[in-house]
Structure 1
Amino acid sequence: MPEFVNGLPLHVLVIHAVVVFVPLGALGTLAIAVWPAARRRIGWVVAGVVAVGTALTPIASASGELLQRRLPENPLITAHQQLGDQLIYFVVPQLIAVLGLMVAHTVSAQRADDGAAGGQVLVIIAAVLAVGLSVAASVHVFRVGDAGARAVWEGVANLPAK
């Protein structure tokens, strides 16, 4: 994996994508959880957005570790790195729950087309679980980002202006 792209650390580029895709996937998950028409139209697109955020998470973590090796020891960076390493444990369950919601929806819709009853309870359970895990993933993305921003920018406001 390259450490730099056009002179910028890969980590800086990838984390911005994670910061966009994980919360965007959470917003989409909320929409498809509460609005069946949205679930039919964009449910699998939302699952794709969540999958992209999930796939980018280990790349962000690995590129961050490469960048950390170039920097002096710093407890703020260490705290950011520890939180960043935990993010995968939030985004994978989020992805599984969103995929579960879409599978439950698809099966329920097929059963309804065949005249069979039921399936909606499973969709509701999957929707609640997907929303809860999406909120948790988004909150953790915020925590990781906040720790990273503090590691980079802490004390900058106290520097003299040129």
Structure 2
Amino acid sequence: MVLAQDLTTVDGLPLHPLVVHAVVVLLPLAAVTATMIALRPAWRRRFGWPVLALTVLGVAAVPVAMFSGDQLNMATGGANPLVQEHSGLASVLLPLAIAFGVAVLVLVLAGRATDREPDPTDSRARVWRLVGVGAAVLTVALAVGTAVQVVRTGHTGSSAVWEGRVPTNNS
């Protein structure tokens, strides 16, 4: 069992709510920008590497958020069913985010390889073009899935924290 003194904190605040904001901001931003570069090769040529870096940062924040969330859950007793649902959704988010990151990497690398082929009729250029198209389709699909899962996970997490604490108009 994690004790309160074992909880990772930043200036006295638990790490989890701080890192979660990195996930909630970076992954949807990466999803939007990755979709843009997947749909417009000229944008991929110019912004591919920065979008990949943004994606890597967003993906890397997910396991840190999961680790710090597990610590926080254990330090607070771990009995809240909403936290359990939140944790389950985060467990789905991690492999989805990793797949999204890999798709963006393949998109950028295949695009670079396609751009470097001097003869577009060459069989090597056709293969890279096909890989690039496949990566673009996969990137868009995984971007949507990742963004949706971030919203679902974040919503259950905020519900676990705020349910019963904020007065509603019905009360």
Out of 59, 74, 81, the residue aligned to residue 80 of structure 2 is 74
Unaligned 5+ segments in structure 2 are: 1-5
Aligned to 1:154: 163
Aligned to 1:105: 111
Unaligned 5+ segments in structure 1 are: none
The alpha carbon displacement at 1:155 in A equals 1.7
The reply on whether 1:93 has 2:102 as its aligned counterpart is: no
Normalised TM-score (structure 1): 0.91
Identity, % of aligned pairs?
A: 39
Q: After TM superposition, which residue ranges in structure 1, 4 or more long, deviate above 3 angstroms? A: none
Aligned to 1:115: 119
Query: Secondary structure of 2:166's match?
Result: helix
* Whole-Å separation in 1 of the counterparts to 2:167 and 2:61: 34
The alpha carbon displacement at 1:86 in A equals 2.1
Q: Which moved further from structure 2: 39-48 or 71-80? A: 71-80
* Whole-Å separation in 1 of the counterparts to 2:39 and 2:106: 15
Aligned to 1:125: 134
Question: In the alignment, residue 161 of structure 2 is paired with which amino acid?
Answer: V
Aligned to 1:59: 64
* Whole-Å separation in 2 of the counterparts to 1:132 and 1:142: 16
Query: Secondary structure of 1:87's match?
Result: helix
> How well do the aligned residues superpose, as a CA RMSD in angstroms?
1.5
The reply on whether 1:26 has 2:31 as its aligned counterpart is: yes
* Whole-Å separation in 1 of the counterparts to 2:165 and 2:71: 24
The reply on whether 1:137 has 2:139 as its aligned counterpart is: no
Cα gap change, 1:2/1:109 in structure 2, threshold over 3 Å: closer, same or farther?
Answer: farther
Normalised TM-score (structure 2): 0.87
Out of 43, 46, 52, the residue aligned to residue 41 of structure 1 is 46
Question: In the alignment, residue 154 of structure 1 is paired with which amino acid?
Answer: E
The alpha carbon displacement at 1:85 in A equals 2.1
Aligned to 2:12: 7
Query: Secondary structure of 2:119's match?
Result: coil
Cα gap change, 1:155/1:39 in structure 2, threshold over 3 Å: closer, same or farther?
Answer: same
